[in-house]
Amino acid sequence: MKKLLLVLCLYQSGAMAQKDSSSSKQAVATPAKPRPKWYETISLRGYLQTRYNRLLETNSALQCEQCDRSWGGNGGFFIRRARIIVFGQIHPRLYFYIQPDFASSPSSTTQNFAQLRDAYIDLGLDSKNEYRIRVGQSKLPFGFENMQSSQNRLPLDRTDALNSSLANERDIGAMFYWAPQKTRQLFSSLVSDGLKGSGDYGVVGFGVFNGQTMNKPEQNKNLHVVGRISYPMEVGSQLIEPAIQAYTGKYFITPDQLSAGTKIKKGNNYLDQRIAGTFVLYPKPFGIQAEYNWGTGPEFNTATDSIESRSLSGGYALFSYMFKAKDQVLIPFVRIQTYSGGKKHELDARSYDVDEFEIGLEWQPFRNFELVTMYTISHRRFEDFNKQNNYQEGQLLRLQAQVNF
């Protein structure tokens, strides 16, 4: 009996030792995964747009300086955008984004200059980056269409009504954004799934910026303030996103923005403020995108040959339908817009009255290529000191080929 007990004890001790040895080996075999090096998180993407606007053109004097400098005049084939974007989450709470454009046009006679569009960092204030601060030059949270990338937008250009608020949609400043993690994922999917989203500018966004628009220095030590609230939500099988946004500040008219005979307010500072409402029904498959804004800004007055603070208003409605056939996507769309007011960033804060109708089709044979055909019927009054009583109307067929990479 003693021998039997001794054998059992020795067997149990051996089994325990083998189990401890196996556990020890397992612990050694699964070390903690090292954090990627910062340079391993950097990504690269971009897109290229080439246009032709002269087909079926009825009036070469019908132009839109802010929209497309090859529209009207003697315009021909035109590289509208050539973007390469470098970005990355270089730390769990630090993201960076840099975007130059190699097809900027400083004038109607000069093309394809490199120009900085975006250069900013997002600093997360919590582990999920639901609260973050953005510092640098970036798009401002005013207007869905302004925030929406031109890579995703259906019509070839943004509307005068919303885009007249912020030339190139960007400025230098500091923004605060908040959105729950689930909503941030939804914002991202609305772009990656081809639903023409605006990107992630938070459920709540507010901040301060210079107010002189992109790549221009501050002139009056008076920062603009901007705020926006939006919330995408599911309604049955559909997704909608209502929003409201506003900004206010003082815009400084610089000497290079003036004709020789234009009169200007003492101090060159003009009240610059707007409020806008947005409604988006994402195309699943029928889509609606509509915005309207009101405000006050500098505008040329032909009766006095002077730039004055005047009221402005305008908006647009875009209707679309998404057809999918295997890898191909077809999206017919219609857009109407109206705008009455000035454009502070143009010569003499040029005065505008715009009524426009567009009908188009976007074809994606595969994700890396898009072809847009768009017929535009436009009525435009655009006046400055040298161009008074300047009313133009006409039609034109516009084409754009876009490569995404």
CATH number of the CATH domain containing 270: 2.40.160.10
CA distance 338 to 391: 15
Q: Which amino acid is at 45?
A: R
Average pLDDT score, the chain:
91
pLDDT, tens digit, 9 for 90 and up, residues 340-374:
999 999 999 999 999 999 999 999 999 999 999 99
In a domain, 5, yes or no: no
Residue 17: the pLDDT is 45
- 3-class DSSP state for residue 362? strand
Structure tokens given for 210 = 């210079």
Convert the pLDDT of each residue in 272-293 to its tens digit: 999 999 999 999 999 999 999 9
Note whether residue 269 is domain-resident.
Answer: yes
CB atoms within 10 A of CB 256: 6
Note whether residue 15 is domain-resident: no
Helix (H, G, I), strand (E, B) or coil at 184: helix
User: Is residue 313 over pLDDT 80?
Assistant: yes
Domain range for 214 is: 37-404
Count up the domains in the chain and report the number.
1
pLDDT class of 69 with cuts at 50, 70, 90? confident
Closest CA to 84 of 127, 120, 114: 114
User: Does a structural domain hold residue 27?
Assistant: no
Arithmetic mean of pLDDT, 384-397: 96
Q: What is the distance between the alpha carbons of residues 10 and 382, in angstroms, rounded to a whole number?
A: 99
Range list of H helices, 193-281: none
User: Locate tokens 């506003």: which residue?
Assistant: 246
Residue 63 lies in a domain: yes
Asked if the structure places residue 249 within a domain, the reply is: yes
Strands (E), 130-200: 131-139, 170-178
Establish if 181 belongs to a structural domain.
yes
* 177-188 pLDDT tens trace: 999 999 999 999
12: in domain? no
Average pLDDT for 261-282: 97
Place of tokens 């605006």: 198
In this structure, are residues 341 and 314 in contact, taking their beta carbons and an 8 Å threshold? yes
